[in-house]
Amino acid sequence: MAGDWGSARPFAFGWFAVAGDDVLHKLSDGAPMIIPRGALIMYREYYGMKPDKPNVGLKMTVEDVAEATHKLEANEPRDLSGKSGIKYRILDPRCFANEGGATHAERFSNKKLHFQPANNTRVKRGETMGGWDMIRHRLDGEDGRPMLYFFDNCRHTIRTLPAMQHDPSNLEDIDTESEDHCADMVRYACASRPWVKRDYEKTAEPAMSAADEFGNIKIDLNKLFEANERRARNATIRVPRI
């Protein structure tokens, strides 16, 4: 589970599974698709937005959000000892900042939701890959198969992630004035499960700048989604390993 906190602005929480092996999946039109081993699959979201008011938060308390989260997880798989199948939770690192009282992370912990600070590296620093590059690597995938998938009930993530625009003053980052809460949450999730192409070190990833493959200065992720969909339609479907 990954979360980006907000009060006046929306909070965004997402639940992810990791494909333990290649999985054969049928699309709504019946066409087969292989979800590859190691892919991240977002299967649920909890987005704190006022109805019909994008980028306006619900101003809920940490305690109320925690109670709602427990209700959403009521049917999560559990092991033989009754322990939740959720292996770890990561949260916006600002929630761990000590400002005199109990931190947001401590308040969640009081409600039995224990989080770790998310990796908040946004862009590449030296040899450290940035979170946006991690999303791009997973969207691009390998052999025409992305490494990041979303259930259609994750509607706010699907709505906002492709709409992200580059920061005009830093083309490697996104505009933080946009509705970026789901994008940040997905970035935290991808950074917690790093994945890059096998030939990444041999073929450097091009910078998303004025000289990128699309020929535009301001690129939105929708073009990446469209490119991945084209590759997926042309990919050869293979029988999953047993």
Q: What is the pLDDT of residues 128-183, one digit of tens each?
A: 889 999 999 999 999 889 999 999 999 999 999 999 999 988 988 999 889 999 99
Q: Which two tokens stand for residue 146?
A: 């992305």
Task: Give pLDDT, residue 174.
Answer: 92
CB 212 within 8 A of CB 191: no
Residue 37 inside a domain? The answer is: yes
**HSE of 155 in the Cβ direction (CA atoms, 13 Å)?**
4
Give the domain range for residue 91.
2-75+84-234
- With a cut of 80, say whether residue 231 has pLDDT above it: no
Confidence class for position 20, pLDDT limits 50, 70, 90: very high
Confidence class for position 223, pLDDT limits 50, 70, 90: low
* CATH number of the CATH domain containing 196: 3.30.420
Residue 125 inside a domain? The answer is: yes
Residue 241 inside a domain? The answer is: no
Task: Give pLDDT, residue 230.
Answer: 54
Higher local confidence (pLDDT), 231 or 181:
181
Residue 207 inside a domain? The answer is: yes
The domain tally of the chain equals 1
Task: Give pLDDT, residue 27.
Answer: 83
Residue 176 inside a domain? The answer is: yes
Task: Give pLDDT, residue 84.
Answer: 79
User: What would the pLDDT profile of 78-124 be if each residue is shown by its tens digit?
Assistant: 877 877 789 999 999 999 999 889 999 999 999 999 999 999 999 99
- With a cut of 60, say whether residue 226 has pLDDT above it: no
127/134 Cα distance (integer angstroms): 13
Task: Give pLDDT, residue 96.
Answer: 97
- pTM, full prediction: 0.80
Residue 242 inside a domain? The answer is: no
User: What would the pLDDT profile of 184-215 be if each residue is shown by its tens digit?
Assistant: 999 999 999 999 887 655 444 444 434 444 44
Q: Residue 40: left if φ>0, alpha if ψ -120 to 50, beta else—which one?
A: beta
Residue 149 inside a domain? The answer is: yes
Task: Give pLDDT, residue 28.
Answer: 83
Average pLDDT score over residue span 62-82:
91
Q: What angle do CA 237, 228, 54 make, to 5 degrees?
A: 130
Residue 239 inside a domain? The answer is: no
- With a cut of 50, say whether residue 53 has pLDDT above it: yes
- With a cut of 80, say whether residue 221 has pLDDT above it: no
- With a cut of 80, say whether residue 42 has pLDDT above it: yes
- Closest residue by Cα to residue 159 from 68, 57, 45, 60: 45
Higher local confidence (pLDDT), 242 or 220:
220
189/16 Cα distance (integer angstroms): 8
